Structure 1
């Protein structure tokens, strides 16, 4: 009986696999764990000047393999892809805003609100 338990995944591992596949929604604690893993992975990418971890996957794996593995382990697979794409877009957006400001563009504070229901 004990021998077979060595080879079967724990309840925690089963739950983590379900979260990764999207079979269950992550809890608040699981989301926070995911975000911490994402932040550690992105910090590593920043330290190695890697912007696009999808396009430069081999370079990212060589430089940040451990952080990337933890990120993929702690987050839903769809979230991993989403966050990697979001990172590229966010960096491009910030670079473009900096470029526009250098060209003398005026910064505008814009607030959007939904129209009130009638």
Structure 2
């Protein structure tokens, strides 16, 4: 029972955190996020001061999430064996490839891409 719970938790956490812990295959310019921010700013009629404050909050949160991803990876690595870490990285790589294929498929069909 304990092993099943541990395995389930590990697989769930690995699958949910794959995107968070994975380094992007190519650098992101943030243009989609920026466009979303600009759209929100326009809809809310934000002042330049509010935009600056919210941009600062976004940058701080981005840094916090990056730190959290790094800490989580270190904690996972401390628990897993070398073989398990290698297998997890393979799973992450497969997931990255699948996500990239989906993005490319959406772009070729003219659909919006979430990233």
TM-score (norm 1): 0.38
Q: Which has the higher contact order (CA 8 A, sep 6+)?
A: 2
TM-score (norm 2): 0.39
Flag the structure with higher helix content: 2
Bigger Rg, which one: 1
